[in-house]
Amino acid sequence: MRPLRLLTGLLLVLVMVALAVPLATHLVPGVLAAVHPPAPVEPPVTPALQIPPTAVAVPDVVTPLPPSAPAPDPAVLGPQLEAALQFAGPGSFAGTVVDSADGTVLYARDAGRVQAPASNIKLFTAVASMTFGRPGSTLTTSVLASDTRAGTLFLHGGGDVLLGSGPSDPGAVVGRAGLGTLAADTAAALPEGSGPYSVHLDDSLFEGASLNPTWAEGDVRAGEVAPLHALAMNSAWLEEGRSGGPRSQDAALDAARVFTAALATAAGERGILIRPDVQRSVAPEDAEPLAAVESAPLADQMRRMLEISDNYLAEALARVAALDSGRPASFGGATEALTAAADRLGVPQEGLLVGDAAGLSVRNAVSPEQLAVLVRGTTTSDEPGLAAVAQSLPIAGATGTLATRFTVDDGPARAGAGVVRAKTGTLNAVTGLSGHVVTADGRLLVFSFLALGLEGNTVEARAAADGAAAVLAGCGCR
């Protein structure tokens, strides 16, 4: 029995030890803390980089150009440009480079030689649009009704040639105003169960001929341009969403038919009858608006015109500028507006001829000097609209008609990628590049290079112009 008692006692001791250890672990620190309280511990500090932001920070990467940045030395710059502007085959360049800050001419090669500038003329169009119109202005496409013409709805064009066929898209430039939205709003404004109604197209805002007599028939057939009207979908290109291919030969009538079909559908849901045929007639003076849609702002349209070099849009914006300047919305009024706006910027008028707003006219005659003065005016102007012209030019290797240029990795023009901003222009025998560039030293320069007399060597001439602009981007040149 004695061994059994010893074993039982040993087990009791082990159990007590097992219970004492956790109790001591939990109780002793509390007792010690009560007798000797620990020193206070500072709360942890979260590093600043780990604190979530409460707002989006604006990166401090775009700063004004330093006014003390050195300009290139003409004696050094000239030979480099002369070498860059050489190209194989017939033809020659005229050109000039001007310091934007003070107007100093840094390079001139036949700078006063007037010639066809091709789409460089669109710089004049952009300046006129922003001189006589406000950047934020919009163009209204509306539906009117008149008590004296009961049963007739007038689709009135206000100069917007970037209409969409469907709902208005508030974030777009093309299609900001949608004919589908206009149709739905018109149907909602008509008495339920009324009708029948006929739709009449009123595109009388633009006056005179719809085709410029100085345009080549081949350009019209190729879709470079088309008969101009005061309303159109997608700049008269037949396929929405594209910026090329064939254009409508009656873009206003096509738009009116799309609107009428959409109106018939929307009105039918309210028991309203719409006749399918569209006629042309001018709305009477007492006509009142039933519904309307607004275009993208003029500044946005101007930017698109410059970036993709849209001939049809250029002509429409020029006629709107003519109206805003108090001139008739005709080809003549438009070209007068372009010339007058250039004159306000101090562009020399001698030898200047403006035959259209797109650059297709054989009457256009402009010199590099005149283009450089015009561009410099946009880079130094305090007017938001004119400043927007300088900011809207295509960026080399990135946007618009310059997106695929200045992109060859081992090419001499690669240095201009992302730095050169310019308007392009090419016809059969001419090519041009006019714009502005910030040099490696931070100096803003304005340039214009125009070539003529080309015969199958346009690619070579373009490359030479790009190379010359890249020389400016890399200056130095001292």
Query: Could you read off the pLDDT of 436-450 as tens digits, one per residue?
Result: 999 999 999 999 999
**Residue 409 pLDDT:** 77
Query: Three-state SS for 450?
Result: strand
> CA angle, corner 203, sides to 232 and 248, nearest 5?
35
**Residue 67 pLDDT:** 77
At 402, list the tokens.
């310059």
Is the model's pLDDT at 37 over the cut of 70? no
Find residue 98's DSSP bridge partners: 105, 446
Closest C-alpha to 435, from 408, 465, 478: 465
CA–CA dist 448, 437 (Å, integer): 11
Tens digit of pLDDT for each residue in 364-394? 999 999 999 999 999 999 999 999 999 999 9
**Residue 477 pLDDT:** 85
Q: CB neighbours of 282 closer than 8 A, spacing ≥ 6? A: 202, 204
In angstroms and rounded to an integer, the radius of gyration of the C-alpha atoms of the chain is: 35
> CA angle, corner 337, sides to 333 and 338, nearest 5?
120
Q: pLDDT band for position 353 (50/70/90)?
A: very high
Q: Average pLDDT of the chain?
A: 90
Q: What is the mean pLDDT of residues 168-186?
A: 98
**Residue 55 pLDDT:** 46
Q: Are 469 and 394 in contact (CB under 8 A)?
A: no
Tens digit of pLDDT for each residue in 82-105? 999 999 999 999 999 999 999 999
What is the greatest pairwise CA distance in the chain? 135
Find residue 97's DSSP bridge partners: 107, 447
pTM confidence score: 0.86
Q: pLDDT band for position 12 (50/70/90)?
A: low
**Residue 61 pLDDT:** 46
**Residue 16 pLDDT:** 57
Q: Which element (helix H / strand E) includes 92?
A: strand 92-99
Tens digit of pLDDT for each residue in 307-339? 999 999 999 999 999 999 999 999 999 999 999
Q: pLDDT band for position 48 (50/70/90)?
A: low
CA–CA dist 459, 447 (Å, integer): 20
